[in-house]
A and B are shown apart, each in its own frame.
Chain A
């Protein structure tokens, strides 16, 4: 197979896979970053924050390169609009992960001890939604009939994240550990931001579902 098809094709495939790796890594780095912040490990937290910046720039570069190759060599003319749409929205997932860690770094929210495990759980659920989304995107390129399975899992984790989000927000406005109203609002803001990662993953998965239907024979 490799000899019949040009290196151009293989290079593009590798680049798409590489881009999806970046999305997956961004999710994992985001989760580890939130854990380090909550476990008061500022050095490692900043390392993750920096790493996520680098991943975001690298993914942007890769996406532009894929777009350039698709249009220059007139590849997959039927599906290239969908492929680029998918890659652009997947890029939004990396962007939100990067933004949230950056906001932690800038605003340094004071998370009360009773809410800390909830924050970590919320970050884990969001990351799992991202993981399943990336698997779905890989299936879109290679094994179309599996896409729906992964999309269902994205929905599941997003729904779980929603429940956790609501529970944490209620805690934020009821706990006696926070005295000032502004700090309660600050908590709510961060809870919503972490949950937004899974929301965006779900939005992308809905697009993916449509693209997959279009690609079916």
Chain B
């Protein structure tokens, strides 16, 4: 068990880093503009990220599993480590990347190493959502901004009441965002360990607590630790330096990003749409950071295209290509190293 836990550590580190970097996308502006205290944000974010991961994490994690089922813990450890190293490197370089892109690259690296064919259908589906998710977030924030503007110009709500409403909505939207983050992104953190999970299904009363949910709970706790220990600095940077948003535009961004993540994570919505023969959103882990960039651009466009920073689109596109390739390469060579130096079975 101790050995298993050690092998989970790279995934937990990935989770910690996800929490440290992504919580800011949902609470950054609210904390930086002092609308919400950091402690309040951290507690809400941690709780909802764990709930999202345990309750609704399976869908998006499943799609990653289809790409390549890593059969040993040592293999999963190496892939998650490669993803963590790339994430750290890209974040340092100021490129908003998705852990998902790193993990996908890592899984493909493992497939190459294990001579397993990569499921191209799953890969196309996943890569398509990377491009689609910021566009969807932009579209949502564009529409929400126009709606908010229309409403606020006619409502004659006093500034002080408006502030109180915004504050409450920021908390609700942040909680929803944290839930969606947990649901959508836990697959990145723990997805590679699903096939080799060391846990057994448990029955608590009449409720089944599956081995995957136990895995996601531990991953969720790692994300929460990332939020609590390290996200404050990132929040202040996101809130103040990168995009200057007012509390209301921040609310629009958070709602757009949360909805985007939710659409790509909700199994029940997926089933509902399928039931009515409507095109359903694929359940794929997407990047909240890239969705934020999309949402901010949506607002800029709604304002008439002022302050539109096109350079960031280039940076994101670099991330789409470079992150999976880099992680794949690191994973491939590390797997070779782990198998031959530590003599651990990776396939």
Q: Which residues of A contact B (CB under 8 A)?
A: 1, 5-6, 9-10, 12-13, 16, 74-79, 83, 140-145, 215, 217
Contact = CB atoms under 8 A, between A and B. Distances in A.
Contacts, number: 50
A217 B160 contact: no
Interface stretch (B113-121, B146-154, B209-217): B146-154
Contacts of A144: 153
A74 B145 CA distance: 25
Interface residues of B, number: 21
Secondary structure class of chain B's binding surface, majority of residues = helix
A142 B164 contact: no
Given A141-B158, A142-B158, A143-B156, A217 B33 contact: no
Most buried by A among B145, B159, B163: B159
Contacts of B164: 5-6, 9, 75
Contacts of A10: 161
Contacts of B35: 77-78
A76 B158 contact: no
A74 to B, nearest CB: 6
A76 B160 contact: yes
B153 A145 contact: yes
Interface in B242-266: 246-249
Given A5-B164, A13-B158, A75-B160, A217 B249 contact: yes
5 contacts: A5-B164, A9-B161, A75-B163, A145-B153, A217-B148
A10 B247 CA distance: 20
A217 B248 contact: yes
A13 B159 CA distance: 8
B274 interface: no
Given A6-B164, A74-B34, A78-B33, A217 B157 contact: no
Contacts of B161: 1, 5, 9-10, 13
Most buried by B among A5, A78, A142, A145: A78
B149 A142 contact: no
A1 B164 CA distance: 11
A215 B246 CA distance: 9
Contacts of A16: 160
Contacts of A79: 159, 163
Nearest to A214: B246
Interface in B233-287: 246-249
Nearest to A138: B158
B152 A217 contact: yes
A144 B164 CA distance: 18
B36 to A, nearest CB: 9
Contacts of B156: 142-143
Contacts of B158: 13, 141-142
Nearest to A217: B149
Contacts of B159: 76, 79, 83, 140-142, 215
